Chain A
């Protein structure tokens, strides 16, 4: 099927579904980034690759790095140089950032559920 992709979760997404997913990912970049960093620390490059692999959406560098820097400035993320590579930084969620992140996830999930209620009638 054109414009479809078979992801690890076994779902095949149609063109329209992929377009919706694209919009959701782009307009909720901070939540998407945090959801991946919740699993493990990563650098900006790997984050962009991971998002592409999960959602088939390419987020450009100029839309990802400013979020990482802002979240770091706000104390939600911590950046550390990778061992053996002093030029690449990995981002992880700080203990203080965990609560913020949980609230973000909850808000995001509830908003999606709320919207879905109108479609399931």
Chain B
């Protein structure tokens, strides 16, 4: 499935990622974390099925506009949930977003029985808006919830020097970044970890053209 999604991804994935894996997509701003996660979901759902993309900081409209500008088409089964109305209307008593996210997932999985893919944009925002007194424990239960639902999940995370519990709990970590060379700045993708999957470890160039994201050869 993921190996057939975006152009050139088979350069870094030698075997398929098992269904139900939880994968962190990490990187600094401008490295296309949201674009990559959304593209993976969109390509996967082109042939049918349902997925949920939850965005904590952008409105649905703004997110979809960004994706359109990247050349990504949104299939019918890809549902986008934004927290904007909730956050504005409940600004004085913002709910715990970790619990809210689980409820949102429960609703979509009940409504769309074929729900198989999930992306959360972003974990950093989720932490800011959740009670993180027992972060490791809370994350354990959140990941457990995702696993129980059998969802292949992409959790977006801004770069941070701090390695939180999500790094240990996740089945995979995809790192996105920028490298500056003689011929300018290039985006790269690298799989740091992917359980039960054969993959390359080198950084590979990632480009965007009017057909969306593609992965090119390694960058040394």
Contact = CB atoms under 8 A, between A and B. Distances in A.
A88 B88 contact: yes
B35 to A, nearest CB: 22
Nearest to B108: A66
Interface string A63-95: 101110110010000000000000111000000
A66 B107 contact: yes
Interface in B101-142: 101-104, 107-108, 111
B85 A63 contact: no
B89 A45 contact: yes
Contacts of A87: 88
A44 interface: yes
A60 B103 CA distance: 9
A41 B30 CA distance: 40
> From DSSP, what is the main secondary structure of chain B's interface residues?
helix
A60 to B, nearest CB: 6
B60 to A, nearest CB: 8
Contacts of B101: 62
A63 B100 CA distance: 8
B111 A62 contact: no
Given A67-B107, A69-B81, A70-B111, A62 B99 contact: yes
B90 A45 contact: yes
B118 to A, nearest CB: 13
A61 interface: yes
A43 interface: yes
Nearest to A29: B107
B6 to A, nearest CB: 26
Given A45-B90, A70-B111, A62 B85 contact: no
B185 interface: no
Interface string B59-89: 0000000000000000000010100011011
A70 B80 CA distance: 10
Contacts of B90: 45, 61
Interface string A27-60: 0000000000000000111000000000000001
B89 A44 contact: yes
A62 B108 contact: no
Nearest to A43: B89
A85 to B, nearest CB: 9
Contacts of B99: 60, 62
Given A45-B90, A60-B95, A60-B103, A65 B111 contact: no
8 contacts: A62-B102, A62-B103, A62-B107, A69-B81, A70-B107, A87-B88, A88-B88, A88-B89
CB-based closest 6 A-B pairs: A62-B103, A62-B100, A45-B89, A66-B107, A87-B88, A61-B95
Given A43-B89, A60-B95, A62-B95, 16 more contacts: A43-B85, A44-B89, A45-B90, A61-B95, A62-B102, A63-B107, A65-B81, A65-B86, A65-B104, A66-B103, A66-B104, A66-B107, A67-B107, A70-B107, A87-B88, A88-B89
